A and B are shown apart, each in its own frame.
Chain A
Amino acid sequence: MYTVSTKTGEFIPESKSDTSSVFAISYFPNDDRILFRMDDNGNELNHIYVKNATKITDLTPYEGANSSFYGWAKNNESFFFGSNKRDNRFFDIYEMNISTFEPTLIFENLEGYNFNGISNNKKYLALSKTINTSDSDLFIYNFEDKSFTKVNDIQSSNAAADFSVDSEHLYFTTDVDSEFTYLMKYTIETATREKVMEKEWDITSSYFSYNGKYQITSINEDAKTKVFINDTKTGNDIELPTFDNGSVIGVGFSRDETKIRFYVGGSNSPYNLYVYDIETKKAQKLTDVLNKEIDPTHMVDSEVIRFKSFDGVEIPAIYYKPHQATADNKVPALVMVHGGPGGQSGQYYNPLVQYLVNHGYAILAVNNRGSSGYGKTFFQMDDLNHGDKDLKDCIGGKNWLADQEIIDAESIGIMGGSYGGYMTMAALTFTPDEFDVGVNLFGVTNWLRTLKSIPPYWEAFREALYKELGDPYSEDSIRLREISPLFHAESISKPLIVLQGTMDPRVLKVESDEIVAAAKKNNVPVEYVLFEDEGHGFIKKENQITAYGNILKFLDTYLKKTEIPVKQ
């Protein structure tokens, strides 16, 4: 626990907190109590806690269960949450009365629906059902007659955006007859649909402020989020201030719809929090997050580049060019691969990227085929083809780097986390001569084991993942074995660093243990950095310092070769 002086802003630790990771959820609607969530060092089993002036209480003390906040009721007397305490595969929906803190089960989830929203009048639920990693059906559940109504009529990617404030309509995104998702409005009474908003890129979210005065819509414009705030009375978008050092993201409204909080930052600047008054048009900066010792002009801005892969498919990528780099001072480089399958590297602040670029490494974050954000055809291009064409796209990225006159073509590595860690290991085993080093952050190395050990609460999604990657209990297992780096580890011939959290429920520690042991047999330099109090992603600052510091040291030794590597 900490207190901070209201005079000086100084932080004063009152007591050491435990080692878990705490995330804010919300203030209570009518008082200063706080909701937050916390898991056990990254095990992804979150509980919801309330903190009042004197104490902290676990509101979901269900051992082994995962609970998620689903939002406040319109009347401010309760909130909704999901928990898999009844059946560890599926999340039931509960309503928590905030005077008594007694939860009531309001929807027993017997068939693996995903919660998508609840209407203000508490009459309807929006529920989706995963069909595959691209497509989901969308349903409205009526609490009064217990009926389910399917909102979409053909198989497509559907997700609820928001109910209208009067509970008469459901806004949802779909991609029927389109590469990109657009916004539809469904009228519940008449079961009719109409298209209400379409952009040139995916509409990723759209929701209303508390009384519906504003509709806030986000799109994913070439790996950058762009936010529109529409005044629903006039139909015009309101203008937000512009900033030299970044753009506005992460918009949230006050309940009375007079104030907005947002963040300003970018790929070369960490995000600062602002409060904006809509009437006076005044923005107030609340944080100054960049360390005073760092000159902001030393940070490196990203740019989007596109290259043709081996078969002519155009691959987008995010490029960071170090300030040190010139044709006379060529720099080493890294291809970076995002998680997934189906994630996307975006143009946002990433401390590891900026740290490495600051130390003279160019980085190309490749959005290989199968990435999100570039249309559904591109998204599906890696299905049942992982570790093959998507890997060739990463090699295409390496070739693009090698063609740059400021890059040392003999010093190009590959780095990635999770699925990107898999790609890193796939590169080092299946194409051992392409990259000079590998940085594997908790990457999958044995698909058979990983796909068989998915936590039970991912049940609603597990089959979709099997459809995309392969079913480890079927004949697909032959292919899954073929594309698993662990069974081909004898090919690893380049220096490797592996970083792993012991608590990771998705990529188990054994995946990293075994690839490290196998690579060591080849007499190549292998470093292994393990964090006992981290899961799928390193959250704690001291661990991030250790992780990123070790990555740079490894790269300086084996890629930049500033020190003579110690012979193993």
Chain B
Amino acid sequence: MTGRPLVAIVRFPGSLDHETARRASEAAGAEVAWAWHSDTELPPGTRSVIVPGGFSYGDHLRCGAIASRSPIMAAVRRHAEAGGLVLGICNGFQVLCEAGLLPGVLRRNASLRFICRQVELEVADAGTPWTRGAPPVLSMPIKHNEGAWFGDPAEGRVVLRYRENPNGSVDGVAGIANRAGNVLGLMPHPEEASDPLLGSTDGRALFAALVA
């Protein structure tokens, strides 16, 4: 133990972006422990949870659907219900929606094309733990095929909106939180906008919440 805040990063079969999430978390000053899909508890002392991007369970049936029913998600649900922070990135966002921890669902991009590019996001709610102190506009990459959020924005808190809607998301939603604000999901990748080498460091603002 280092005394730094502990971030549990959940890994499913098919998770891909856990290493970049680990780097960004550690750069923010957090300590990282892995949580396996088959675990029934989060690592002791977990302060916050990241559900990273990838193609959990091969994206079979619906993106995130099978992962959302895996044993670790019951522990993530308890953590969220106790007010703990949970961040879902890309496939992790899909998992949190399928688990019912966030409103709505992610559908195929309206263009039916995989989209991989840098986008600009407006912070629509600066009152969540994730966005306090964030600049009003963030530049981050997206890379997804099923990123069109569908649902009722009033069931949660729209935190990030695309400046130019790339995928057909309802209300331009790029990231949405639960009403309490402690659970956030977003399709853009803040962990891939966390180092000058990657062209943007705007994603650091979200990771700062892990150590606040």
Partners in one complex: no
